[in-house]
Amino acid sequence: MKKFTYEARDQSTNKITKSEIQADSESSAVKLLVGQGFTPLNIKEIEDSNNIITQLTNRITTKDRIVFTRQLATLIGAGLPLSQSLSTVAEQTQNKKLQSVIEDITVSVEGGKTLSSSFSKYPDIFDAVFLALIEAGELSGTLDDALKRIANQQEKDAAMMSKIKGALTYPIIVLLVIFGVLAFMLFTVVPQVEKLYHDLKKVLPFITQIMVDMANFFMNFWWLVVIVMIVLSYFFVQYLKTNSGRRMSDVLKLNIPIFGIMFRKLYMARFMRTGQTLLSTGVSMLDMLKISGESVNNVLVKESILRAAEKVKGGKALSTSLQSEDYILLLVPQMIKIGEQSGRIDEMMSKAASVYEDELDEQVRTISTAIEPILMVVLAVVAGGMVAAILLPIYSLINVM
């Protein structure tokens, strides 16, 4: 998605507006502006900086979006006009990029556009769930409630992702420690053993010789290793952005040992929570399924939900449609069936989401507790193997002498 600065005339007020817009190309940007009721006078692409530091310091985090949504809901609920609420939130926002986005949205709203259409100019910041809830809130006159629901949805999703990341953090740290131990032994201890054998004019044991060769290679060609790692990482990241790469990543998440069931429960909780939020705001069943499928952020689960949506469109019950899908856990259609019978599908979806969130929380704690001793054993085996490969040749030399 590219960024463009533009100068355009508002067709409804005849005022000149200067701001920024995001689109795939200049022609797409023009179409977006025309669709929003503007006559483009001048449009220019903004050169995007690829500086990593700039991207990290200028990005809009989930926390930024939650705080913005909560503040806007509070001000609108207090009776302030929409444009004034947006201006007030912009003044209080610390993130400069988000502040610029809010100011542009304020200008758009003051020009007569709806809040949902103004948000839609920034699809990388405000996703389909956000836009659907805002639009439903505008139509029903409950915009402050819709914003609160969005904030709650974002907070719960962020909490679940935090639990998954927390469970993965400890193994990653231990693996880094293992690599650190290997590097220390290779670059400090192994050369000393080689020198000792060289001085005594003895032949190194096979395992020790392999370690010496590895140490020499890394010390002499470290620059080549760095280049290869950077190139491989770049192409791997680019591959993950393709359809096949994304599919491969999603298949791995669903089937990876131990963590696969955690991801499945995460996706079900996200699907149920998003669906409940959308239905309770007045979004139709089919639109709910389409938007929820996008929000799950897994291609395979999304396809299952969309197939179920097609069956619902054909006249089948949602519970029956979901029951035959491989990547939908059993509790989901069961809870929805109870909701269909009682006329409270959104309430049952909320309860199912809570069940999966609680199970996910418990499983994260269990895995975190169980994985510590396993990783300690792995670390001990690796370090012990390195020490043995170094000390045993030394002991054999002592025995010979």
Structural domain harbouring 25:
2-151
Residue 101's nearest CA partner among 51, 129, 64 is 64
pLDDT of residue 292: 86
pLDDT of residue 51: 47
Residue-by-residue DSSP string for 185-207: IIIIIHHHHHHHHHHTT-PPPHH
Strand partners of residue 40: 8
pLDDT exceeds 70 at position 324: yes
Same-domain pairing of 223 and 183: yes
Same-domain pairing of 29 and 174: no
Same-domain pairing of 180 and 306: yes
The CATH number of residue 364's host domain is: 1.20.81.30
pLDDT exceeds 60 at position 166: yes
Residue 114: how many CB atoms within 10 A of its CB?
A: 15
pLDDT exceeds 70 at position 52: no
Sign of the torsion angle spanned by Cα atoms 289, 295, 301, 302: positive
Residue 129's nearest CA partner among 149, 143, 155, 102 is 149
Same-domain pairing of 160 and 192: yes
Same-domain pairing of 66 and 159: no
Among 151, 166, 200, identify where a domain stops: 151
pLDDT of residue 179: 82
Q: Select the more confidently predicted residue: 101 or 23.
A: 101
Mean pLDDT of 230-257: 90
Looking at every residue in the chain, the average pLDDT score rounds to 82
Same-domain pairing of 64 and 130: yes
pLDDT in tens, 103-157: 888 888 887 888 888 888 888 888 877 888 888 888 777 788 888 888 887 888 7
Say what the alpha-carbon torsion angle 217, 223, 224, 228 is, to the nearest 10 degrees. 120
Mean pLDDT of 45-61: 60
Same-domain pairing of 334 and 368: yes
pLDDT exceeds 50 at position 218: yes
pLDDT exceeds 80 at position 22: no
pLDDT exceeds 90 at position 92: no
**Banded pLDDT at 50 (limits 50, 70, 90):** very low
Among 116, 151, 186, identify where a domain stops: 151
**Banded pLDDT at 236 (limits 50, 70, 90):** very high
158 burial type by CB count under 10 A (0-12 exposed, 13-18 middle, 19+ buried): middle
For residue 376, the 8-state DSSP code is H
| Whole-number CA gyration radius for the chain | 28
d(CA 255, CA 270) in angstroms, rounded, equals 18
pLDDT of residue 307: 93
**Banded pLDDT at 399 (limits 50, 70, 90):** low
pLDDT in tens, 176-193: 887 887 788 778 877 877
Same-domain pairing of 93 and 172: no
Let me know: does 127 contact 297? Beta carbons within 8 Å: no
Among 121, 151, 181, identify where a domain stops: 151
Domains contained in the chain, number: 2
pLDDT exceeds 50 at position 88: yes
141 burial type by CB count under 10 A (0-12 exposed, 13-18 middle, 19+ buried): exposed
Is residue 126 classed as helix, strand or coil in its secondary structure? Answer: coil
Residue 69 amino acid letter: T
Q: At what angle do helices 222-240 and 243-255 cross, to 10 degrees?
A: 90
Residue 153's nearest CA partner among 234, 54, 269 is 269
Same-domain pairing of 282 and 220: yes
d(CA 332, CA 108) in angstroms, rounded, equals 40
**Banded pLDDT at 48 (limits 50, 70, 90):** low
Strand partners of residue 8: 17, 40
Strand partners of residue 46: 3
Same-domain pairing of 21 and 98: yes
Let me know: does 160 contact 266? Beta carbons within 8 Å: yes
Strand partners of residue 6: 19, 43
pLDDT in tens, 245-284: 999 999 998 998 878 888 899 899 889 988 888 888 788 8
